[in-house]
């Protein structure tokens, strides 16, 4: 799964990095970024295809946790933050968004927890990013619902997940779908079912390192969250 991310790139730099998408309304998020320990329910910059266009994309702001459009009051329970690639095209919560409202979720990295005992009570958090150090995009889907009190349209999103690559399989049985830059516009495009894009990203382009357990609380939101801690050889998880 993918339930925590970090975005160390500023909003202006993120817009420059993903230059094919116009800035849209995300400049107002500037005071919230960099975000070193990003959790669900927070608002993030995502990239969507502009309505009635097959080639134009733009940044918009959206809350992490997908709420379908028919849930006018925002839904009853915690909204899903992930959508499994195996069922995203058939699950009633996801299938309409997958068919027509796919998005990119730009980040600098994400966190995952490795179980250290059968009970799962002992876990070691890891940070995962690109070896290049550059931002990258997760495959997502988005929706809008109408706030019952104000009538405001609230945009939300979830991240697609898939089987792990060789790197991630050492600590977990799932990973977020990471898209190659050459596939960005296809994922955003009008194709109904680009399921071949939902596959493990190559391990040799990624790196992973152990971090302190304080990442477990989203209230801890400082740059040292992603500092490596010494559990063994520095490059133990670097494929």
Per-residue pLDDT band at 236 (split at 50, 70, 90): very low
- What's the pLDDT band for 238 if we cut at 50, 70, 90? very low
Give the structural domain span for 192.
Answer: 5-114+133-201
- Look at residue 53 and tell me whether its pLDDT is greater than 80: no
| Catalytic residue ranges | 2, 112
- Total structural domains in the chain? 1
Q: If you write DSSP's letter for every residue of 127-158 in order, what string do you get?
A: EEEETT---EEEEEEEEEEE-TTT--EEEEEE
SS3 content of the chain, % helix, strand, coil (to 5): 20, 35, 50
Q: What is the pLDDT of residue 77?
A: 78
pTM of the model: 0.93
Q: How confident is the model at residue 41 (pLDDT cuts 50, 70, 90)?
A: very high
**In this structure, is residue 126 part of a structural domain?**
no
Q: Rg of the chain's alpha carbons, rounded to an integer?
A: 17
68 assigned to some structural domain: yes
pLDDT of residue 70: 79
Measured distance CA(189)–CA(197) in Å, rounded: 12
How many Å apart are CA 69 and CA 7, to the nearest integer?
27
Lowest mean pLDDT among 35-49, 64-78, 82-96: 64-78
Q: How far apart (Å, rounded) are the C-alpha atoms in residues 238 and 75?
A: 41
CA–CA separation, 161 and 142 (whole Å): 15
DSSP string, 173-228: S-EE-EEPGGGHHHHHSS-S--GGG-SPPPGGGEEEEE--GGGGSTT--SGGGG--
Q: What is the CATH number of the domain that holds 68?
A: 3.90.1680.10
How many residues can be counted in the chain? 239
Average pLDDT over residues 59-77: 83
Query: So what's the pLDDT on residue 235?
Result: 42
Name which of 121, 120, 137, 117 is nearest 129 in CA terms.
Answer: 137
Q: Residue 24's pLDDT band (boundaries 50, 70, 90)?
A: confident
Give the pLDDT confidence score for residue 74 in this predicted structure.
62
Tell me the average pLDDT across 82-99: 97
Mean pLDDT along residues 211-223: 96
Summarize pLDDT for 150-194 with one digit per residue, the tens: 888 899 999 999 999 999 999 999 999 999 999 999 999 999 999
Which backbone phi and psi does 30 adopt, to 5 degrees?
-55, -40
Residue range 13-33: mean pLDDT, rounded: 91
Interval 96-147: pLDDT, tens: 999 999 999 999 999 999 998 887 788 999 999 999 999 999 999 999 988 8
Q: What is the pLDDT of residue 50?
A: 82
Residue 35 lies in a domain: yes
What's the mean pLDDT when you consider all of the chain? 91
* pLDDT more than 70, % of the chain: 92
Indicate whether 207 pLDDT > 90. yes
Instruction: Tell me if 182 is assigned to some domain.
Output: yes
| Residue 233 placed within a domain | no
- Asked if the structure places residue 102 within a domain, the reply is yes
Q: Is residue 67 part of a domain?
A: yes
In a domain, 227, yes or no: no
> Which has the closest alpha carbon to 130: 64, 209, 196?
209
């Amino acid at each position: 799964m993918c339930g925590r991310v970090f975005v160390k790139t500023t909003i202006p730099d993120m817009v420059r990095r993903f230059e094919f998408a116009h800035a849209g309304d995300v400049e107002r998020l500037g005071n919230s970024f960099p975000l070193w320990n990003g959790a669900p329910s927070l608002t993030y910059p995502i990239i969507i295809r502009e309505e009635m266009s097959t080639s134009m994309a733009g940044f918009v702001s959206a809350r992490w946790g997908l709420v379908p459009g028919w849930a006018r009051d925002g839904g009853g329970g915690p909204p899903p933050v992930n959508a499994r690639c195996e069922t995203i095209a058939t699950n009633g919560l996801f299938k309409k968004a997958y068919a027509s409202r796919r998005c990119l979720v730009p980040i600098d990295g994400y966190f995952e927890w490795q179980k250290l005992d059968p009970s799962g009570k002992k876990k070691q958090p890891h940070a995962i990013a690109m070896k290049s150090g550059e931002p990258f995009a997760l495959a997502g889907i988005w929706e809008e619902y109408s706030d019952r009190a104000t009538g405001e349209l609230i945009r939300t999103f979830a991240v697609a997940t898939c089987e792990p690559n060789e790197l991630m399989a050492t600590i977990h049985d799932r990973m977020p779908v990471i898209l190659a830059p050459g596939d960005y516009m296809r994922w955003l495009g009008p194709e109904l079912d680009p399921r071949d894009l939902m596959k493990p990203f190559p391990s040799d382009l990624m790196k992973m390192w152990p971090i302190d357990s304080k990442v477990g609380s989203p209230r801890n939101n400082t740059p040292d969250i992603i500092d490596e801690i010494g559990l063994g050889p520095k490059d133990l998880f670097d494929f």
